[in-house]
Structure 1
């Protein structure tokens, strides 16, 4: 069996990004076969990570290095940096996760404990509501509440600010304060537009506004704080060192994507640093397979934050690589208690 195994999973509905609409999610598994074995996931998604072909080439080189000299050599391959940033964050995620899974299986220790967690606590997760009319948006939020979600993330920024505010008012009229509502603009606004939104949204009791400004204007988020709603940064973390963002005091919340940061081990360190600064780390995924998604669940449990994580993505995949050991039930997920990732047999068709 090859150490590097490509996979492709169908998405329904398709995933819209700033660059494309994806009907399938491509990724790569990295396997350690010695002893109890171990498995990791690389799910590249530019601009958060390197492109797919670069990730695959890096993992093939890491596999050769592993076969010749073991884990340290494999890590050197996927840990190279350019201008201070990891060149292959998705590939490093896969190698580091395979090692952690292997070590956890060897030591009979679940991943969340390896990441510093002390208890197998339930992780609240948010539902995601896409763009729609005010009535459609309100209905989607009500449906999520009825399925047990206590938090939702509403996508904004595709239309005019007034339209988004109308959508959010319809949500509050429909569900009141029974659901925590955050919004995600994906960097769609100018500083002036974001400030106008925040001033008018102050009465809507939003939990946070995520990435209101594009990455190029990350430091301008500082000027948006104090306008009535907490500010979260997401895409910015893939471009700026977290210490620089904390020093500039750009946000209240920091959205951690382990795949984009280079691994759950790296993300755990970032999350703990954020928490020590009195800010809130939020764990989320970029539509990985069950392998990467379950790793993110372990990370969220280890960080033990009270805000909902963005990990309710399994229902977008038509099929997956293994049975889900941490399904969403009543708006929460519980990390597996087994050693390592706690996933059963993982298979790739074809």
Structure 2
């Protein structure tokens, strides 16, 4: 056993209402639940992580994550690194965020470029674009695949009509189209204004063919979250920049932690493929940790972090200054579900 690097660790559980119902694949969320891991090192510095499984996307529940997080944190607090290959993805993100925090020694003060999320072309979204003030982002992210392809194409055109021609869209279909539907959609929109489409169909082997037939590039997201996913599949299946792969979208809560994301990021950068970190409706603390990862990999890339706009209180549980604790008021607003003090 190595010397325990921590004095103690605690796990808090939060429950936060959303500003409006959030439709996912098979469920609609009205609130978000998650876990905050707090670990205090031997120098008295506080380090934080978050485990917030996302229904329909995570294979673990919050209850399952809570049990495993307690076991893994106690193991880590006692000076023994847990086997990260056995951890749930959300738990791996929480534990490895602590390791990432220790390795950094400080938080970067700069802000990552923004890529705001648009959920459609309803009246509020269109008014938001029409009333836009200040500098435009390089890209917006727009959800598609929830309607017929003709309706989705019309939504894209409505948005494009309201933003400068220099601003592009990166689209996210969440594997909702068939191959023929993806082709039909791509032929109805100005491909030159589309940076890429994330996961256009459930079959990733179809993506290069979609690019050949329509010229629209694609991004990998859910494909990277498969438990059996291996980076060698990218080579076997022809996922290369020249075959239309424009970006790997890394969601630490779903992909499986910091180290796996950084490994994929290193592979992608060597292939001149964009590395886009993205949130999964975590609290402000988790989103800030993902922003720090994005800045660590590429300070100029715009991560997808606009999911906080879905919360009634977007600022709930902000990441404190490096080494500082969360406020007592904030901690009292969450349920402390576990505490462990190392033997010294």
Same fold (TM over 0.5): yes
Does residue 159 (structure 1) correspond to residue 147 (structure 2)? The answer is yes
Q: Which runs of 5+ in 1 are unaligned?
A: 81-86, 113-119, 326-337
Q: 2-side partners of 1:178 and 1:66: how far apart?
A: 48
Distance 1:280 1:121, change over 3 A: same
- The Cα of 1:306 is off from its aligned counterpart by 4.4
Residue 23 of structure 1 is matched in structure 2 by 30
| Corresponding position: 1:56 with 2:66 | yes
Unaligned runs of 5+ in 2: 1-7, 240-244, 336-344
Q: CA deviation at 1:237?
A: 0.9
Change (3 A) 1:268 1:292: same
CA RMSD of aligned residues (A): 2.7
What residue is the counterpart of 2:339 in the other structure?
Answer: none
Superposed counterparts of 1:210-229, under 5 Å: 210-214=198-202, 217-226=203-212, 227-229=214-216
* Deviation, structure 1 residue 205: 1.7
Quote the residue 2:50 is aligned against: 41
Q: How many residues align?
A: 313
CA contact (8 A) 1:7 1:348 kept: no
1:93 aligns with 2:93: yes
- Separation (CA, whole Å) in 2 of partners of 1:343 and 1:291: 12
The residue that corresponds to 2:306 in the other structure is 312
Supply the distance in 2 between the matched residues of 1:182 and 1:295 (Cα, whole angstroms).
Answer: 23
Paired position in structure 1 for 2:224: 237
1:149 and 2:137 correspond: yes
Q: Where in structure 2 are the equivalents of 1:285-300 lying within 5 Å?
A: 285-300=279-294
State the 1:140 CA deviation.
4.2
- TM-score under structure 2 length normalisation: 0.81
Q: Deviations over 1:219-242 (max 9, x none)?
A: 211211232222112111101233
Alpha-carbon offset, residue 96 of structure 1 = 1.3
Equivalent residue, structure 2, for 1:328: none
* Structure 1 Cα separation of the partners of residues 235 and 182 of structure 2: 21
The answer to whether the 8 A contact 2:170-2:194 is kept is yes
Q: How does 1:148-297 map to 2 (within 5 A)?
A: 148-203=136-191, 205-214=193-202, 217-226=203-212, 227-239=214-226, 240-250=229-239, 251-297=245-291
Partners of 1:101 and 1:131 in 2: CA distance? 36
> What is the TM-score when the length of structure 1 is the normalising length?
0.79
Kept in 2, the 8 Å contact 1:145–1:179? The answer is: no
* SS at 1:124 equivalent: coil
Mapped pair 1:125 → 2:114? yes
